[in-house]
Copies of this chain bind each other. A is one copy, B any other.
Amino acid sequence: MSVKMVTNAAGRTVPTEVNGVLQTPYQGVDGYRPQGNKAAPPIRSAADYPRDGNKILPSLKEALIRAGLRDGMTISSHHHFRNGDLVMNQVFDIAAELGIKGLRWFPSAAFPCHAPVIDHIRSGVVDWVEGSLNGPLGNFASQGGMRGKAILRSHGGRWQAVQDGEVHIDIAILAAPTADPFGNATGDRGPSACGLLGFGLVDSLYADQVIVVTDNLVPFPCIPWQIQGQNVDSVVVLDRVGDPEKIVSGTTRLTRSPDRLYIAELTAKFVRAAGIMREGFSFQAGAGGTALGFAIFLRKMMEAEGIKARFIRGGSTKYLVEMLEAGLTDYILDGQTFDLDGVRSMRENAGHVNTSPFTSYNWHGKGNFASMVDVVVLGATEVDLNFNANVVTHSDGRMLHGIGGWQNCLFSKCTILPIPSFRDRIPVIVDQVTTLTGPGELIDVIVTERGIAINPLRQDLIDATHNSGLPIRPIEDIKAEVDRLIGGPPAKPQLSDEVVGIVKWVDGTVLDSIYRIEN
């Protein structure tokens, strides 16, 4: 490798150039100030679009040709269909059929269903995937299989990158559960209903060409219209754009593990003890089993004390919807719906409001609401003694998860990671995280089945809870206990010195490098 490596403000070694683009090393949580102006899409004229508003083209292939698909372009998509997406593999199959080479795929996330893209990388149709890599594509990238480096961004970071002109999208493909011929689209209804389309909003605003693909065409106007037809070039109708069972779960599943339930309960008790659970407060918890458990325990405590939240930040699940419908919160501010109750509620409840990464997470706006959330409950694969955390690689160095909104959520007033102290006999609290994804100064509390560790930077939380009777311990104690139990700290992963990916911070700077794994 001839690319220059430098040490950034987190002490991590990062490249100064990635995929031919100069990079700024991380300069601290809010050390970097952007210069310049937002990206400026070309001015269009309604004279070039059908007066009757009918933008339907007969096939995806024709839409791609009309959009000017050619070698080296950047093709974007959203991941609201998660593992049930039936559109993007077709797009790259068509590109292959047309003899196109060297594409960059810029999804908000790729899922196991997108494994066929690996073949398109091998054959040269796609050079690299730039987006959250879950499963096979992450594994493939970890092995150095892509002709470009992986660039992992948070949801807010993806908005920032497009808005700031760091990533120029040539063609956006926006799969839509319901749309009209003009291109207005919504995610909350139709056979492929996924709740909302917020992850594709920035694509619709900034891409040169925007293609909406739907299997549920309605007469103008499609209401709601989170994606607005005025930003859309063409509409394609397919028989099926998604596999509903893989888009959202029928119901989300609470953990049955006694350890995880204990951690969830401890987390809720901590939130109450710290005085965070008070009238008009707000919280965010994801769809993982422990997070669901936290929400259920918290709900019981809220009901016991007659406390109502002002808002809950989703990803929504039936547990959060039940709280909304029981009057335990005024609003769910939702970025993605995880189950069918979430989708239904978004359609039916005026207090269940769709958001976008702009409203919730974009660091390069005039604020965002992530920092207004009173407490957020997140996961992690590793945490070190300074509370630095990893969420993208496993302890073997393999990148298997995207960042999602995780980095953005760290700005919450209290960030808690409820995590088991070890997984598969591998300790979770380590000397140094394999990949730094979140700076420790933003991570306030670790809750394990062996006790709760509070970041020493949060003296206020230490003071508020020191008479709570909760098992609060120094993080070093918990680590030592686990290491003793396992028989010493874990072996370092076998990694080469070849950089195969980078982790961006929310401001577009480079927080860490991801290295090729030795097989």
Contact = CB atoms under 8 A, between A and B. Distances in A.
A345 to B, nearest CB: 14
Q: This chain: how many copies in the complex?
A: 2
A230 B368 contact: yes
Interface in A126-181: 163-164
Contacts of A220: 310-311, 369, 372
Interface residues of A, number: 63
B369 A411 contact: no
Nearest to A204: B366
Contacts of A20: none
Given A41-B38, A43-B163, A333 B221 contact: yes
A52 B373 CA distance: 9
A209 to B, nearest CB: 10
A288 interface: no
Contacts of A39: 40
A37 interface: yes
A106 interface: no
Interface string A319-337: 0000000000001010000
A413 B220 CA distance: 15
A40 B38 contact: yes
A312 to B, nearest CB: 11
Contact of A228 (B164, B331, B358): B358
Given A223-B351, A331-B223, A46 B367 contact: yes
A242 B53 CA distance: 38
A373 to B, nearest CB: 10
A256 interface: no
Contact of A53 (B34, B46, B369, B507): B369
Contacts of A353: 221, 223
Interface in A26-62: 30, 32-53, 55
Interface of A: 30, 32-53, 55, 163-164, 182-183, 210, 219-221, 223, 225, 228-233, 280, 310-311, 331, 333, 350-351, 353, 358-359, 362-369, 371-372, 411, 413, 507
